[in-house]
Structure 1
Amino acid sequence: MACGGFNSNQNLVSTLCRFVGETVTIFTKSGGVSGCGFTGTLFGINNEFCQLVTDFGTAPANPLGGPNSSCCTNLYPEHNCHRQTSVGSVCDIPIDKIAAFCHNAV
């Protein structure tokens, strides 16, 4: 029995579940840039994959429509209602490819 370590993927999954919603860094058993780790908010986890939100999308320009809506241009004709938007990004990491993960102590 390993002292303080993970002796199965299920133990790792159980531990990762405690950090859903927290920012973590996960290092994978891979080379190149992917071996440098992935940092993001742990969003979901199952016995096969964990999912990190690595970049959040932008908020809507206004509650009534998108940045190019007539509401924006009609209400604020002097403003430039066009803005850069991002849909964010998600990283799915296979559980059996995790080498280590880092999290805050508190």
Structure 2
Amino acid sequence: MYKDKVNFLRSLKYRSIMSQNITIDHAHQLCELVKHAITNSILVAHQNIQFKIDQQQVVLTGNVNSYYEKQLAQESVSRVKGVRQVHNCLTVEPFLQEEKAEFAH
């Protein structure tokens, strides 16, 4: 049982974060806070946004409809306590949602 837990912990990608004296619980909590910040932002909640966290740096990827939404996503994440830096790699594809709706009809 103990070996299984050790192997599980070693398999996590939080090892680099752990070297900075941040436990897995803190890394998991940071992940949940970032997810919460994105989903609670009204304009970007339904966009195609993914993120990765490495050493308290968040990388945003995916698509949004406007530069305003791109900036809003970045600002929402940067306000999360524990986030040191945000790399905004979001792609702006205007009217992506509307085009999808047109093709559905």
TM-score computed with the length of structure 1 as normaliser: 0.25
Structure with the higher helix share, 1 or 2: 2
Greater relative contact order (Cα 8 A, min sep 6): structure 1 or 2?
1
- Please identify which structure carries the higher strand content: 1
